[in-house]
Amino acid sequence: MKTIRTIFFLQVIILFFGCSTNNPQQEASQNLTIFFVNDVHGQLDNFAKVKHIVDQEKETGNVILACSGDVFSGNPVVDNYTEKGFPMIDVMNQTGFDVATIGNHEFDYGIEILKERIEQSDFEWICANLDSGNSLLPQPPAYTTITAGDLKVTFLGLVETNGKRNAVIPSTHPWKVRDLEFSWAQNVVPDFINTKNDEEADLFVALSHLGAMDDFEIARNNYFFDLIIGGHSHSYIDTTINNVPVFQAGSYLNHLGKITMSVKNQSLENVDFNWIDLNEYPEKDAELQAAIDEYMNWPELNEVIGFAAFDHSGYQVGCFYTDALRLQLDVDFTFQNTGGVRAGLRQGNITKRDIYEIDPFNNGTMIYKMTVAEVEEFLRGSGSGFYYSGGSISKNGSEIIIRDLNGNEIPEDYVLEIGINDYIPAVHEIYFPDNGEVQPFSTAETIIVYLENNEVEVKYSQCYHYFRY
C-alpha cells in the first residue's frame, strides 16, 4: 500500500508541475514599445526621424507604430498633390506604420479620395463608430489585432462626431460625409467589452481621435481598455484615469509618443511614457528623407505673390484673410470661421505655399444675398465666432449692430452681398438661402488671385475684426 501511495503521490507531483510549465499564469513578462503620432496634418519632414527611431528600437524589442488620426490637411504639398494625400500615405508606408484610426480631417478630400488613400496604405485603417453603408467607402474594420513578437495587441478605432449641431458627424465639411453614418463613440464602445477575450489579445487599446475630454470619459466608463492613445485636441497628455493610462503627443509631428511597457498574463505590469522631440532629434533615415525632399520641392508653391510688413498671427491673419476675400469678390461683408485659419503669416515675401498653409481645406467660395436681419440671426444662432470684413459688428445687450465702413448703422431690411466659404453654410445651413452663387475658385485660390493682382503690403497690427454672440 505504501508503494502504491508513493507512486500516486509522485504522479500527482509530476502532473502538477508538468501542467504548470504551460500555465499562462506562470508566463514571464514580455516587453513592448508602442510609438505613435497624432494630428500630423500633412507635415512630412520629421517622418525620416520617426523611421530612424522606430527601426533602431525594432533591433532589440517588440515594436508597434500607430497613428491616432488627422494625417491630412495642413501641408500644401500633401493637400494639392495631383492625387490628394498621396505623399502622406507613401511616406507613412515607408516609415512602417502598423495601424491608424480615421480622424475627422481624413474626410476633407471627400470619400472617393479617402477610399484611394486607404487602398494605397500598407497598414490598417480602423473606426468603430463609422458605417459606410452603400457609399463608395469600403467599411473599415472596428478593430484590428497586431502581433509583435509573442504579444497580440488589439486596437479599436474611434472618431469624434461633434461637427455639426443636431447631427452626428465629424468636424469636416458636412457635404463630404453625407453618404456616411456615424455614432457617438460613448454609445459604441461598450459593445466591445469582450473583444480582448474574443481576440485572445494580451492588450486592448483604444486608438482614439475623440479629444482629451472624451478620452477621459471613455476611460472612466470602460475599465476594459489597457491603454487609450488619443488625438484631435492637439494635447500633450500623460495621465491615468480609472487605472487606464491615457496618452497624446501634441500635433504637427513635433513629437513622437513612446510608450514602453511590460506585459504579463494579459495585463500591464509597468508603463513608461515620454515625448521624443523630433525637432531636436539629430538622426534621419537618409532614403526616406530623400523621398520627402523630392515631394517638398514644388517650385510653384514658392512663387512670391505679396509681402507682409511683420509677423501676423491669429486675429491679424483673420483681418487680412477676410479683407482679401471681400475685395476680390467685390461683396459687402465676408466671414471666416476661426478654425479655417490654420497658420500665421511670417514677415517678408508671401508665397502661394503660405496661403495654402493658412487655408488648407480647399473649401469652395459662395456669395449669398441676405438681409441684415438674416445675417444677425446667423451670428446669433450659430453659436460660433467669426473673423469678418466690411464694417463693424458689435453687441448691445441682446441686440447686434452692424455698421458699414463709414460707421453708419445698416437697417435690418437692407440686403447685403455676403462672401463666404462653403463650409460655413454647410454647417449652419438653416441660416442661409438655397440660391447661393458658387464661385470659380476656392477661398485660398481667391486670396492668391487677390495678391497676384494687387500690389499691397499686408500689415494688420491693430486690427480686431472678430465677433461671437
- What percent of the chain is modeled with pLDDT above 70? 94
Span 264-281, pLDDT tens digits: 999 999 999 999 999 999
Q: Are residues 318 and 452 in the same domain?
A: yes
Report the C-alpha gap between 417 and 377 in whole angstroms: 16
Q: What is the CATH number of the domain that holds 276?
A: 3.60.21.10
Of 123, 154, 159, 125, the residue nearest 227 (C-alpha): 154
Question: Number of structural domains, the chain?
Answer: 2
Q: Are residues 213 and 342 in the same domain?
A: no
Q: Are residues 402 and 351 in the same domain?
A: yes
Q: Are residues 377 and 436 in the same domain?
A: yes
Could you tell me the sign of the dihedral formed by the alpha carbons of 203, 209, 215, 218, in that order?
A: negative
Q: Are residues 346 and 247 in the same domain?
A: no
Q: Does residue 77 lie within any of the structural domains?
A: yes
18-32, 225-239, 294-308, 363-377: least confidently modelled range = 18-32
The answer to whether the beta carbons of residues 432 and 370 sit under 8 Å apart is yes
Q: Are residues 230 and 312 in the same domain?
A: no
Q: Does residue 9 lie within any of the structural domains?
A: no
Q: Are residues 200 and 162 in the same domain?
A: yes
The answer to whether the beta carbons of residues 63 and 148 sit under 8 Å apart is yes
Span 65-100, pLDDT tens digits: 999 999 999 999 999 999 999 999 999 999 999 999
pTM (2 d.p.) = 0.90
Q: Are residues 99 and 158 in the same domain?
A: yes
Q: Does residue 70 lie within any of the structural domains?
A: yes
DSSP character at residue 167: S
Residue 13's pLDDT band, with cuts at 50, 70 and 90, is very low
The residue from 234, 263, 296 where one domain ends is 296
Q: Are residues 253 and 146 in the same domain?
A: yes
The residue from 255, 279, 296 where one domain ends is 296
* Residue reference for cell 525637432: 279
Of 233, 263, 266, the residue nearest 250 (C-alpha): 233
Span 217-233, pLDDT tens digits: 999 999 999 999 999 99
The answer to whether the beta carbons of residues 272 and 246 sit under 8 Å apart is no
Mean confidence (pLDDT) of the chain: 94
Report the C-alpha gap between 284 and 156 in whole angstroms: 31
Span 135-190, pLDDT tens digits: 999 999 999 999 999 999 999 999 999 999 999 999 999 999 999 999 999 999 99
State the pLDDT at residue 7. Answer: 38
State the pLDDT at residue 23. Answer: 43
Helix, strand, coil content of the chain in percent (nearest 5): 35, 30, 35
The residue from 265, 296, 327 where one domain ends is 296
Residue 442 backbone class (left: φ over 0; alpha: ψ -120 to 50; beta: rest):
beta
Q: Are residues 95 and 221 in the same domain?
A: yes
Q: Are residues 264 and 372 in the same domain?
A: no
Report the C-alpha gap between 454 and 355 in whole angstroms: 15
State the pLDDT at residue 437. Answer: 98
Q: Are residues 254 and 384 in the same domain?
A: no
Q: Does residue 20 lie within any of the structural domains?
A: no
Amino acid at residue number 170: P
Q: Residue range 38-42: average pLDDT?
A: 98
Span 143-157, pLDDT tens digits: 999 999 999 999 999
State the pLDDT at residue 26. Answer: 46
Q: Does residue 445 lie within any of the structural domains?
A: yes
Domain span including residue 312: 300-468
Q: Does residue 209 lie within any of the structural domains?
A: yes
